[in-house]
Chains A and B, each alone.
Chain A
């Protein structure tokens, strides 16, 4: 019975290539993760906004909360200077900007 004879050099080369390919599959710090495997806890607690719960952006010049002694003043952050008006979101549309849309 004839046996298939593979030259040792070829076998070594193929074996080496196999090891290299397998090693390449191991992503250490050479790869980069896309996004993150983060999921929020499943709580079903989103929403519940009361009638005065506002989340949207203000219009330009919207009134700021004035300190009336009924709540504590700013804590933990530096308030914008009193003379600064409340900003809004950008008004300039795509067509008015230098951005070119495909």
Chain B
């Protein structure tokens, strides 16, 4: 009986710790219970700890669950921007999260490739790692098992900045999107949701509680660009323009294809391209690119670390090279050089 109670204690404690009301919670969003319930839960937890303390002393192997403060702290995600900013850049890619069946392999791979360091968390039963570079949040890694026999592969999920997740949801649904993960508040992070656009590409939106990252050239090892490959770039551009009020520019493309640029705040945010003609079964998808100094060298490093090269290093429209690679679990992502700081802020 006692052992059974101890077994559930850690999870219970984590849930209690996560139920604090947050300032970023939208009005009317009854996500977290009342303060009274929280207080009762804390009191009962204390009573429970006192009652069971003698048993814990007798059984050292079970002592870990009562390290309340340390465990509670490890369940808090970091704010998107530290220190908080007053910046808001609707339509900017502000977070990328990897969904992977083996977080240990993923951490080792990206750490060796880009120098990322990690902060491990246990949140609502999920294993999550925050990747940082020079102390700044770069990415989130989510451990999620794949069902036996399921023909699914790991992927990076793109989050775009919004000012109001719930309003974005209404707009997205009205324009043909499907809701994959309903709007919800993530303590310390903000409010987020995940959708499939009308063509099926999956993306997330994030209403950051700490503002959006500054518009600045990413360092090596940070995300620098995103592209959408889709069956109908024009219709997709219209959809995302409705959500994020993008300026849409058509760029030169090969015959029969469309290359569109999505921009906001006078900065390029992403491209929308026709899916390659020789990949008729490829689903519409977002891809994200890491800024590297040398795409060829990084591609070779990907291979050495157990990943794959899907598209060899090649010149792109910006005068630098780009490549498409996959990590050892199959998650595709891009590598992109930005040879110098020739880009400039636009004055209209």
Contacts and interface: CB of A to CB of B under 8 A. Distances in A.
Nearest to A56: B316
Contacts of B9: 21
Interface string A62-102: 11110000000011111110001111111111101111111
Interface in A9-38: 13-14, 17-18, 20-22, 24-25, 27, 29-38
A98 B146 contact: no
A78 B273 contact: no
A59 interface: yes
A60 B184 CA distance: 37
B99 A46 contact: no
Interface stretch (B28-36, B106-114, B162-170): B28-36
A31 B15 contact: yes
Contact of B31 (A29, A39, A57, A60): A29
A41 B261 contact: no
A87 B254 contact: no
Interface in B4-24: 4-5, 8-9, 11-12, 15-16, 18-19
B248 interface: yes
Nearest to A31: B124
Interface string A50-61: 111111111110
B194 A63 contact: no
A65 to B, nearest CB: 4
Nearest to A75: B234
Interface residues of B, number: 122
Contact of A38 (B11, B18, B180, B213): B180
A42 interface: yes
A77 B285 CA distance: 19
Given A54-B259, A87-B346, 13 more contacts: A17-B5, A34-B140, A34-B142, A35-B142, A40-B153, A43-B283, A53-B276, A62-B251, A76-B234, A86-B249, A87-B247, A92-B217, A93-B219
Interface of B: 1, 4-5, 8-9, 11-12, 15-16, 18-19, 30-33, 41, 44, 47-48, 51, 77, 82-83, 85, 97, 99, 123-126, 128, 134-136, 140, 142, 144, 146, 150-155, 157, 180-181, 184-187, 194, 202, 204, 213-217, 219, 224-225, 227, 229, 232, 234-238, 241, 247-254, 257, 259-261, 263, 266-268, 271, 273, 276-279, 281-283, 285, 287, 289, 310-311, 314, 316-320, 322, 324, 326, 330, 332, 334, 336, 338, 341-346, 348
Interface of A: 13-14, 17-18, 20-22, 24-25, 27, 29-43, 45-60, 62-65, 74-80, 84-94, 96-102
